[in-house]
Amino acid sequence: MKNGRISGSLAWMGALGAVATVSCSIPARATPLQDPYGTWTLQGENDAVSTLKGTSDQYYTSGLRANWTSGTDNLPAPIATVNRAILGQGVQRISIGVQQLIFTPHDTQSPVPVAGDRPYSSLLLGTINLINDTDLSRSVFGIQFGVMGPAGLGRQLQNGFHGAIGDTKNLGWHHQLQNQPIFQVQGGRTWRLPLVTAFGISMDMLPSVSGAVGDYRIYGDVADTVRIGQGLNSDFGTPTIGPGTDGTDAYVLSRPIAWYAFGGVEGQAVAYDASLQGNTARSNSLHVDKKWDVGEFHAGVAVMWHGMRLSYSQVWQTQQFETARSGLFNYGSLALSVKF
């Protein structure tokens, strides 16, 4: 185990605990909106869906997610008790999902690792989140568990897809990070703050705090999003697969058609990232030097109608490690949710 990583981890455990204590101490009235239906979500993120040239198939190159979120206030009694004990009073849900993330270097045609380039890695993770809504806030607490390494099936998915479409396969996957069990504890809160309504169009703001502790990533995250549209009280924003407040698939339509455009900023303080710094228990693992401060800019649209929500986000991200060769890295995120 690497001593520098351990000391950074302990420091950030205390910081994230303080963030959770402060965010959960702010009272909010429980919302009367109820939703008896479960929500199924499919989401894909890819650097090929990009507004800038030259970012395809490098760094965070692909994310896939399938998720189910329960209806409101129908949790088994023991789970409802845990939800209330951790997150307080509010309308309760539970969210269960699986996701895969693929990371590759800048030079994907070199069969051997290039010094200073990001190592190949893939993660296959399960997620369980407790969700607690009030009129003006959504709180989330949960766990992620799974594996990073060849068992994450990144090589099979990426090179299999490239072969199917006649594209060039990436050549360095046999040097990917080794199998490592992943266990994360994560949590966050988003506040919904109405700003103004005029001529039937509303504007609000969604400040949020979140963080995670585990052997994949240890980080704290602060974000803010501004939205303009109709039916803004239908949800708490759109999800992304990466760091930030998880569990935002749940929505309740407050009008026949709800829609909004949004833009936001996000800042992460990163104490540890195994996909950059290498396998936690292997001193000779491939690695690069992470940056502790990472910023993101988000912009996109969401539309809800007939029980469905379709959203698209474009994300611009500052460099995650010292020797990254790109400026602002960017990727697209498309999500479809349907109620049953």
Q: Give 210-228 pLDDT, tens digit per residue.
A: 999 999 999 999 999 999 9
pLDDT at residue 50, rounded to an integer: 58
Of 190, 299, 195, 296, give the one whose Cα is nearest residue 235.
190
Please tell me the CATH code under which domain 3-339 is placed. 2.40.128.140
- Dihedral angle sign, alpha carbons of residues 262, 305, 65, 17: positive
Are the CB atoms for 300 and 326 separated by under 8 Å?
no
pLDDT at residue 1, rounded to an integer: 43
- Percent of the chain as helix, strand, coil, to the nearest 5: 15, 45, 35
Q: What 8-state DSSP symbol labels residue 88?
A: -
| 5 pLDDT more than 50 | no
Rounded to whole angstroms, how far apart are CA atoms 72 and 93?
5
pLDDT at residue 280, rounded to an integer: 86
Q: Give 157-197 pLDDT, tens digit per residue.
A: 998 888 888 888 899 999 999 999 999 999 999 999 999 99
Q: Determine the residue type at 237.
A: G
Kind plus residue range of the DSSP H or E element containing 124: strand 121-133
Are the CB atoms for 237 and 263 separated by under 8 Å?
no
Q: Between residues 314 and 34, which one has the greater pLDDT?
A: 314
Map out the domains of the chain as residue ranges: 3-339
Q: Report the predicted TM-score, pTM, of the whole model to 2 decimal places.
A: 0.87
